[in-house]
Structure 1
Amino acid sequence: MNLQAGQEVRKVMEVAAGVLLRADGSVLLGQRPEGKAYAGWWELPGGKLEPGETVLQALARELKEELGIDVTAATTWVTHEHTYPHATVRLHFCRVTGWHGEPRGLESQDVQWVQAWRAETSAITAAVNAREARIAALAPDASPEAHVAATALSVEEGLGLTLSPPVGPLLPATLPPMRWLQVPDIYGITGIDNPDNLSAFMHKLDSALARGLRLVQFREPGWPEGPNAPSLLAVLRDVIERTHAAGGRVLVNSVHPAAWWNEADGVHLRASDASGPRPDIAPGSWVGVSVHAAHDLANARKLDADFVALGNVLPTPSHTDRAPLGWQQFAALNLQAGLPVFALGGQGPDTLATAIGHGAHGIAAIRGVWDE
């Protein structure tokens, strides 16, 4: 490796981090005890991988040592690097959905189950003002830890969320998974195609929302009047109204005009539209990206996407000209993603468990989601 003068080779610390999830959606956080770096900050439980351990083996050992529980159900989820002033950590976030025992702090740490909710605008504004005040008061000779404390984003400012019950500051590396947990695990993609199909599709949409669907991508490139047609905008508004009434979100595919994106809850970028910066959309909006290869994943990370849809994983009628990735290649690319990955292509509720078992956040589908 060729290094420029003054450059430093920093060792990356491999860490298994557990996202313990209860049925009500709450997540377990632990407060770092006195005597540790960043004492008083809150984080997800976990710790370093020992030589020869797999991620899930390290996770099970750490949660036994820290919380006194025996893990019975866990899957790898997102691998994410974060650089602190003192270290770079590669965090292997794992979703933990089954365990024996009641989690309790065995290493002098407090633990707390929390739930995340959308923050009010006033709370976000207050958080922004508080951080600006901390930065202004920072002494020129402040320690690296003090710099992190002053500049760290709160959940309100960084994520547009409020935690209940409230806890103290979250370690910066804990913010991304709290954000990702807001993304549902099933992503329905519209495929109306023609006004003649509109009534039948709206019935399918209502049925899917009644079954729990909470994330919809509006994607209609083949609309007879074109993807910019006023008649299609009227359809989008109907989809938004129905989805919002059910408590869900709608993202607009980037084949449609940018002016439509803020009418919904964000945008889903085609891979060809994702080589630039993050789109200038309303605060709190989401950005998804379609990806097919490693370079697409790199683009999605650069623009700070909220998630990607990777495919096609299995054979699908919409892409007969493209060889499917298969689950092994999907899992390999998922490890490089650094953010949640939906499996796309040949997917439906019946493949959700398989997708999650290969590290996926969930599944995305044009057809499989709408079938009753």
Structure 2
Amino acid sequence: MHVVAAVLRDARGRILLARRTAGRDLAGAWEFPGGKVEPGETALQALDRELHEELGIRVLGAEPLVAVPQAYPSKRIVLDVYSVTAFEGTPRGRERQALAWTPPEKLRDYPMPPADRPVVAALTSPARYLISPEPEEPAAWLGKLEKALKGGIRRVQLRARGLPARTLADLAMDARTRCHAAGAELLVNGEPGLAADLGLGLHLRSDQLMALQARPLPAGQLVGASCHDADELAQAERLGLDFAVLGPVRATESHPGATPLGWDRFAALREAVSLPIYALGGMRSADVATARRHGGQGVAGIRAFWPR
């Protein structure tokens, strides 16, 4: 089923949510307004019709945000979401549905259908996830981190498996200072104790992920994980993690023996969970739009985002 939905903003930057009415699937949940694409309609025609029927407005301009494939017990959908850049009229609940204008940072507080969770992430979280190379010399590494932050990176994974514990802690504290100054998020790879001590996010290796029985950090401290298949994604969702990285989508020099997933398989794995998912493996900034068309949060990588 092809479904369209709209991200509508008011003059204060708040985003409109509509509550599903009684008698519908997932009644009482909040969602981005929209509905099914009818035979013979384009997605934008359906968006305009649905918003007129539901809210009494007309769409004057819209841009693609993300298309989320999602499997439900009785159906499979693609939620095709557009950011509405201009509209005519004043939104009102023409079907007696409750409406709420919500600041972006409050969207996660609303119970939503599974397909809407990746939409919230696309609106509120970075589209690029930098995985750092191993730090050979901390001062030079920090200098390159600053360049990456100046280039717009806002989510960083510190991966340093070869450093002594004290050196890693010092580096993480210095990196935290730089990331916080830039408004960026910092996660450490594979070190839950260090993440807890320093108030940082944590990125789990797949073996760590599969060995856990509960989320390793409280809500409010980011936890992501590296995933390669459906079982690992399902475990990440069971634990209530914030996002996953899935790959390799393309063949890479760093993993020459790995069979790439390709975009179709990426989308097929994505639809079984509601997690935000980054595509990994041969990714560049230009691939964000492709990842979004297949339900991804964006792209993750080392070479494309780490300054040379």
Do the aligned partners of 1:46 and 1:62 also contact (CA within 8 Å) in 2?
yes
Does residue 116 of structure 1 match 2:100?
no
In the other structure, the counterpart of 1:290 is: 226
Give distance in 1, aligned partners of 2:22 and 2:293: 37
In the other structure, the counterpart of 1:188 is: 130
Give distance in 1, aligned partners of 2:112 and 2:62: 28
Does residue 45 of structure 1 match 2:33?
yes
Residues 19 and 98 of structure 1: is their aligned pair in 2 closer, same or farther, counting only changes over 3 Å?
A: closer
In the other structure, the counterpart of 1:270 is: 205
In the other structure, the counterpart of 1:131 is: none
Give distance in 1, aligned partners of 2:37 and 2:153: 37
Alpha-carbon deviations, 1:320-359, whole Å to 9, x = none? 1212222222222222232111011111212212222222
**Residue aligned with 1:235, SS:** helix
**Residue aligned with 1:336, SS:** coil
Q: 1:97 aligns with which of 74, 80, 83?
A: 83
Unaligned runs of 5+ in 1: 1-13, 83-87, 119-154, 162-169
Q: Where in structure 2 are the equivalents of 1:28-67 lying within 5 Å?
A: 28-30=16-18, 42-47=30-35, 61-67=49-55
Do the aligned partners of 1:80 and 1:338 also contact (CA within 8 Å) in 2?
no
Q: For CA contacts below 8 A with separation 6 or more, give which structure has more relative contact order.
A: 2
In the other structure, the counterpart of 1:355 is: 291
**Residue aligned with 1:323, SS:** coil
In the other structure, the counterpart of 1:4 is: none
Larger mean Cα displacement after TM superposition, 228-237 or 102-111? 102-111
Shift of residue 42, structure 1, vs aligned partner: 5.0
Do the aligned partners of 2:5 and 2:35 also contact (CA within 8 Å) in 1?
no
Shift of residue 245, structure 1, vs aligned partner: 1.3
* TM-score, normalised with respect to structure 1: 0.67
Give distance in 1, aligned partners of 2:51 and 2:149: 36
Shift of residue 277, structure 1, vs aligned partner: 2.7
Q: Where in structure 2 are the equivalents of 1:164-183 lying within 5 Å?
A: 170-173=110-113, 176=117, 180=121, 181-183=123-125
In the other structure, the counterpart of 2:67 is: 76
Unaligned runs of 5+ in 2: none
Look at both structures and tell me which one has the larger radius of gyration over its CA atoms: 1
**Residue aligned with 1:318, SS:** coil
In the other structure, the counterpart of 2:150 is: 210
Shift of residue 35, structure 1, vs aligned partner: 10
Give distance in 2, aligned partners of 1:370 and 1:33: 47
**Residue aligned with 2:272, SS:** helix
Do the aligned partners of 2:236 and 2:244 also contact (CA within 8 Å) in 1?
yes
Amino acid at match of 2:157: Q
Shift of residue 238, structure 1, vs aligned partner: 0.9
Does residue 241 of structure 1 match 2:187?
no
> Alignment RMSD, CA only?
3.7
**Residue aligned with 2:172, SS:** helix
Residues 177 and 341 of structure 1: is their aligned pair in 2 closer, same or farther, counting only changes over 3 Å?
A: closer
* TM-score, normalised with respect to structure 2: 0.79
In the other structure, the counterpart of 2:250 is: 314
Do the aligned partners of 2:187 and 2:202 also contact (CA within 8 Å) in 1?
yes
Identity of aligned pairs, percent?
36
Do the aligned partners of 2:280 and 2:299 also contact (CA within 8 Å) in 1?
yes
Amino acid at match of 1:363: V
Shift of residue 41, structure 1, vs aligned partner: 7.5
Give distance in 2, aligned partners of 1:264 and 1:78: 34
Shift of residue 319, structure 1, vs aligned partner: 1.1
Give distance in 2, aligned partners of 1:204 and 1:78: 37
Give distance in 2, aligned partners of 1:34 and 1:336: 26
Alpha-carbon deviations, 1:1-33, whole Å to 9, x = none? xxxxxxxxxxxxx79462516598642223567
Residues 22 and 347 of structure 1: is their aligned pair in 2 closer, same or farther, counting only changes over 3 Å?
A: farther
Residues 323 and 176 of structure 1: is their aligned pair in 2 closer, same or farther, counting only changes over 3 Å?
A: closer
Shift of residue 251, structure 1, vs aligned partner: 1.3
Tell me the number of residue pairs that the alignment of Structure 1 and Structure 2 aligns: 298
**Residue aligned with 1:343, SS:** strand
Shift of residue 185, structure 1, vs aligned partner: 1.1
Give distance in 1, aligned partners of 2:22 and 2:231: 43
